[in-house]
């Protein structure tokens, strides 16, 4: 059983990655429901938290249905990070996560996020301060290094463990790579297999199918679990699909359009309840294309979903999709059933023919 501090998170945990503007409470609840073992909030600015900025404070909202949950913070000032850790503790998550991986200029170039990979001494002392200022287990999410010349991930893992963190998630890219190229898990394995490493190390980057997850587990056996980001967008059931495949070697069926509509509708309703109608409707717009990717002839309906201003209109469109595509699915499955019957008939036909032909021949 893998543990983050004293929290048991499963034999081979699947974690929902922190994602700005995506990993909000409705999405986290759905991912939890669909098999994620641990979920993380998007990153929250420590400067925003200490100013009690409304936008940052609202990101602290967590719900029982999503536990265990980690709240992620970022910043480069020791004092702001220390105070933020205490604010986070009051929100009562299970875990406090520090972001040392964000590559965007406005964060990394100020020495926060992945920027701190250029100053590992500061990374270690900042982490130690945070660990000492909270009773929550502290975890870190980071990248392999700033660029390929500065990869010191094994040393980073050892020093962060020494500073007191309870788990480390590593995205297998450098800051310079942003999201380009392929994530390199061999370096994640190198850190995870170091004889002095005792904390769980989770691998992150490019896992988007059950097969890929199985391959990562096979190739990198000391990595204790997988963090999934982009592949969960519009696809929260990926956690159950991966889990089922890892446990049985068999695939769970892809949800039908009717099932997708059901999850999407609940996502919408939770967003509207959480953020109020105006914002909830707008925040859901980024999810519809992903929920219905690959559904034939969907373009006009997608346009309707992403431009509609009225909740009722969106709900009506979803009901329409359910009816239109649900019927198609029924028709499709009827066609499949008919095809199977035809195949059965074809298989049995030669015998029938034989029986029929014998008397014909003998008559002739």
Ligand X SMILES: Cc1cc2nc3c(=O)[nH]c(=O)nc-3n(C[C@H](O)[C@H](O)[C@H](O)COP(=O)(O)O)c2cc1C
Which one, 182 or 327, has the nearer CB to ligand X?
A: 182
Can you tell me whether residue 191 is helix, strand or coil?
A: helix
Alpha carbon distance 257, 325 (integer Å): 6
Q: Does 99 bind ligand X (CB under 6 A)?
A: yes
What is the secondary structure of 118-161 as a DSSP string? G-HHHHHHHHHHHHHT-SSPEEEEEES-SSGGG--HHHHHHHHH
Strand 7-8 relative to strand 3-4: parallel, antiparallel, unpaired? antiparallel
Half-sphere exposure of 29 (CA within 13 A, CB side): 17
Taking residue 244's Cβ as centre, other Cβ atoms within 10 Å add up to: 16
Q: Do residues 126 and 82 lie in contact, with contact meaning Cβ atoms separated by under 8 Å?
A: no
Ranked by CB distance to ligand X, the top (closest) residue is 229
Between the two ends of the chain, the Cα-to-Cα distance in Å is 76
Q: Residue from 9, 14, 15, 17 that binds ligand X (CB under 6 A)?
A: 17
Return the structure tokens found at 54: 């409304």
Active site residues: 102
Please report how close the Cβ of residue 341 comes to ligand X at its closest, in angstroms.
43
Structure tokens at 32: 């939890």
**Does 139 participate in binding ligand X (rule CB under 6 A)?**
no
In whole angstroms, the minimum distance from the beta carbon of 99 to ligand X comes to 5
Beta carbon of residue 23, minimum distance to ligand X (angstroms, whole number): 7
CB 230, min distance to ligand X, A: 3
Stretch of residues binding ligand X (CB under 6 A), selected from 2-10, 99-107, 288-296, 313-321: 99-107
Peptide bond into 68 cis (omega under 30): yes
Which of the 8 DSSP states describes residue 116?
G
Does residue number 48 form part of the binding site for ligand X (CB under 6 A)?
no
- Quick one: 282 or 353, whose CB is closer to ligand X? 282
Record the tokens describing residue 79, joined without a space: 């004092």
| CA-closest candidate to residue 249, choices 218, 205, 279, 220 | 218
Least Cβ distance, residue 74 to ligand X (angstroms): 8
- Length in residues, the chain: 364
Q: Which of 2, 3, 5, 20 binds ligand X (CB under 6 A)?
A: 20
Which parts of 207-266 interact with ligand X (CB under 6 A)? 207, 228-231
Site for ligand X in 282-341 (CB under 6 A): none
175 binds ligand X (CB under 6 A): no
What character string, x for contact with ligand X (CB under 6 A) and - otherwise, covers 57-96? ---------------x------------------------
User: Could you tell me if 15 and 228 are in contact, meaning their C-beta atoms sit under 8 angstroms apart?
Assistant: yes
The verdict on 184 binding ligand X (CB under 6 A) reads no
Interaction between residue 43 and ligand X (CB under 6 A): yes
Size of the site for ligand X (CB under 6 A): 21
By the rule CB under 6 A, 39 interacts with ligand X = no
Name the one range near ligand X by CB under 6 A: 98-106, 193-201, 257-265, 323-331: 98-106
Can you tell me the distance from the alpha carbon of 77 to that of 51, in angstroms, rounded to the nearest whole number?
Answer: 14
Smallest distance, Å, CB 345 to ligand X? Answer: 47
Enumerate binding residues for ligand X (CB under 6 A): 17-20, 22, 42-43, 72, 99, 101-102, 141, 171, 204-207, 228-231
């Amino acid at each position: 059983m893998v543990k983050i501090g004293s929290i048991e998170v499963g034999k081979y945990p699947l974690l929902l990655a922190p994602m700005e503007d995506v990993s909000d409470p409705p999405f986290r609840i759905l991912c939890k429901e669909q098999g994620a073992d641990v979920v993380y909030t998007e990153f929250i600015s420590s400067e925003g938290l200490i100013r009690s900025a409304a936008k940052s404070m609202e990101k602290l909202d967590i719900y029982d249905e999503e536990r265990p949950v980690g709240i992620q913070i970022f910043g480069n000032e020791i004092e702001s990070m220390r105070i933020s850790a205490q604010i986070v503790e009051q929100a009562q998550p299970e875990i406090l996560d520090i972001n040392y991986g964000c590559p965007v200029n406005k964060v990394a170039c100020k020495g926060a996020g992945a920027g701190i990979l250029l100053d590992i001494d500061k990374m270690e002392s900042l982490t130690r301060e945070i660990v000492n200022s909270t009773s929550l287990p502290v975890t870190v999410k980071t990248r392999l290094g700033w660029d390929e010349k500065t990869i010191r991930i094994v040393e980073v893992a050892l020093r962060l463990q020494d500073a007191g963190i309870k788990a480390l998630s590593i995205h297998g890219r450098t800051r310079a790579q942003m999201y380009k190229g392929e994530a390199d898990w061999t370096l994640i394995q190198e850190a995870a297999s170091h004889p002095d490493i005792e904390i769980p190390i989770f691998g992150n980057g490019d896992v988007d199918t059950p097969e890929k997850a199985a391959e990562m587990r096979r190739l990198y056996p000391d990595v204790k679990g997988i963090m999934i980001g982009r592949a969960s967008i519009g696809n929260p059931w990926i956690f159950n699909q991966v889990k089922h495949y890892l446990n049985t070697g068999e695939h769970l069926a892809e949800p039908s359009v009717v099932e997708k509509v059901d999850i999407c509708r609940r996502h919408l309703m939770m967003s509207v309840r959480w953020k109020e109608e105006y914002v909830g409707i707008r925040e859901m717009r980024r999810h519809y294309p992903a929920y219905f990717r690959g559904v034939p002839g969907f373009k006009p309906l997608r346009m309707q979903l992403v431009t509609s201003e009225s909740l009722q209109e969106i709900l009506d469109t979803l009901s329409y999709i359910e009816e239109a595509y649900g019927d198609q699915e029924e028709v499709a499955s009827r066609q499949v059933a008919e095809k199977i019957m035809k195949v059965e008939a074809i298989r049995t036909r030669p015998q029938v023919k034989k029986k029929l032909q014998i008397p014909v021949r003998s008559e002739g």
